[in-house]
Amino acid sequence: MNAAERFDHYLEHLSKGLGHADRHAGLRGYCTGLMLPLARKSVEPMAARVDPMHASARHQALHHFVAKAEWSDTQMLRRACQWVMPKMDFSEGGWWIIDDTGFPKKGRHSVGVTRQYCGVLGKQDNCQVAVSISLASNQGSLPVAWQLYLPEDWAADPERRAKAGVPEEVRFATKTQIALQQLRALLEEGAPHHCVLADAGYGVDNAFRQALSDMGLLYAVGITSAIVVWPPGLQPLAAYSGRGRPPVVPRRTAALQPISVKALAMSLPAQAFRSVTWREGTNAPLNGRFAAVRVRHAGGNVGKARLRPEQWLLIEWPAHEAEPSKYFLSTLSEDVTLDELVGVAHQRWRIERNYQDLKQDFGLGHYEGRGWRGFHHHAALSIAAYGFLMAERLVADKPVGGKKNFLERQMPALPEDYVPRGSPARAAPRDDLDHDAALSAELSADRSFGAVPLLRQGKHKATLVT
């Protein structure tokens, strides 16, 4: 069976989650368009290449499929993972990687657009932001959950919500709250309790870390240098008179005070740090200087705050730098080695690779519609297309990158009389299209990668629970 035939089988697998058979053509056309080596993968140019002799009609059909049809983007992601999962190996462990990514936008009508921090631009600007969770192994990773972050001004604006088709049940939630909701939904479906990885945007939130522990999940998350901890080897005083409930508030004295993780790192002797290589990079092994100490988080330890359990503080301090560059808190077991701790903490690069490939090769940021449904449908289809090539890579043991024309299909030429969108001769529905397209984005990441499975896994075999 060649790649094109496997792609046909894959589309049959995905189409079982669409509901109506008349949506199958839309799925085939849209996913095929996402696979083609087009400079931009919004509806109009994909329609022109997939069906050049009927570009206007195909444009309308694909637009209806992605922006209007009532099929589940969550189910689409689950079925994509079902296809990839049997080709994965989690014998060496797995991780849930939480992150968010931005899509610069102009105007104010595209759903969720507001002035906020955009990681792609590295500054505050008009953009949309989506929160995602990827499931990762040593072979690679794949997004399994995806949701737009709806800012407070949008969540409280009935008129804009109605125009963008924001579901009634969607209310304002912080990015950390969205990520926790996604994790709970996955665990309820039978997902394994893998270690959670996240950057400091999530890791600094004590409530987020506590929620992970309450769900029975280990974590290794980034934090900022200002996080306050009790230093190693010191136990906060908690005197008990023998009457009433035992005290849970650490008692501070002039000689016993918590300190910032930066101050703690700066106080460590040089021999506390050791050079660790955590993986092979594109051109050379990736390594750095690290130290790990057992600490208790002390933030909020006033009033009725309880004494926190011990956990790892991992410090990364590059040679020839004046101070450490990164800090992590982790609840991995007390007997974990420094090499293992460093290796886990640095698995988060995989989600950056997901975003890079999805944006550069699968049109993740190219959707021009304004509505909630279309935004999520387009993302689910981009991830589904990415999932197929990832599965092919696992079978062939070759990298996905650069195989934009993987299906070996010749891209049809445009007919001589083709007129692009905007011309009176090829007028297209524009009621909810945003012609201020998202800017293309590139993330710097290592180029070596693989792919992942989902959800419940047994001793020898993984199976998806829907």
pLDDT at 428: 41
pLDDT surpassing 70 at residue 159: yes
Which one-letter DSSP state was computed for residue 191? -
Please state the φ and ψ torsions of residue 146, each to the nearest 5 degrees: -155, 125
pLDDT surpassing 60 at residue 345: yes
Task: Return the H-helix or E-strand segment holding 303.
Answer: none
Buried b (16+ CB within 10 A) or exposed e, 110-147: bbbbbeeebbbeeeebbbbbbbbbbbbbbbbbbbbbbb
Mean pLDDT, the chain, as a whole number? 83
At position 426, the amino acid (one-letter code) is R
Mean pLDDT to the nearest integer, 322-336: 96
Q: 314: which strand partners?
A: 292, 328
Q: How far apart are CA 106 and CA 113, in angstroms?
A: 8
Other CB atoms within a 10 A radius of the CB of residue 254 amount to 5
Work out the angle at residue 409's Cα, subtended by the Cα atoms of residues 426 and 28, and round it to the nearest 5 degrees: 60
pLDDT surpassing 80 at residue 242: no
Structure token digits, residue 271: 């021999």
Write the CA distances from 150 to 170, 174, 178, integer angstroms: 8, 8, 10
At position 371, the amino acid (one-letter code) is G
Task: Return the H-helix or E-strand segment holding 146.
Answer: strand 140-148
Mean pLDDT to the nearest integer, 306-316: 88
Render pLDDT for 54-96 as a digit per residue (tens, 0 to 9): 999 999 999 999 999 999 999 999 999 889 878 878 888 899 9
- Residue 297 and residue 329 in contact, taking contact as beta carbons nearer than 8 Å: yes
Structure token digits, residue 172: 């304002």
Spatial neighbors of 278 by CB under 8 A, at least 6 apart, are: 286, 287, 288, 339, 342, 343, 346
Task: Return the H-helix or E-strand segment holding 179.
Answer: helix 175-188
Nearest to 98 by CA among 1, 213, 222, 215: 222
Q: What is the percent of the chain with per-residue pLDDT over 70, rounded to a whole number? A: 80
Structure token digits, residue 382: 């981009």
Q: 433: which strand partners?
A: 369
Q: What is the dihedral of CA 426, 366, 15, 163, to 10 degrees?
A: -80
Render pLDDT for 269-298 as a digit per residue (tens, 0 to 9): 999 999 999 887 777 788 899 999 999 998
Q: 134: which strand partners?
A: 97, 143
pLDDT surpassing 90 at residue 309: no
**The pairing of beta strand 285-297 with beta strand 274-280:** antiparallel
Q: How many CA atoms lie within 13 A of 211 on its CB side?
A: 16
Q: What is the percent of the chain with per-residue pLDDT over 90, rounded to a whole number? A: 61
Task: Please report the sign of the dihedral spanned by the C-alpha atoms of residue 128, residue 133, residue 137, residue 142.
Answer: negative
| Residue 164 pLDDT class (50, 70, 90 cuts) | very high
Please state the φ and ψ torsions of residue 339, each to the nearest 5 degrees: -60, -45
Render pLDDT for 393-429 as a digit per residue (tens, 0 to 9): 878 765 544 444 444 444 455 555 555 554 444 444 4
pLDDT surpassing 80 at residue 99: yes
Render pLDDT for 104-141 as a digit per residue (tens, 0 to 9): 998 889 999 999 999 888 899 999 999 999 998 888 78
First-to-last alpha carbon distance for the chain, in angstroms, is 28
pTM exceeds 0.85, yes or no: no
Q: How far apart are CA 278 and CA 220, in angstroms?
A: 15
In DSSP notation, 10-30 reads HHHHHHTTSSSGGGHHHHHHH
Q: How far apart are CA 302 and CA 444, in angstroms?
A: 41
The full length of the chain comes to 466
Structure token digits, residue 98: 């939480």
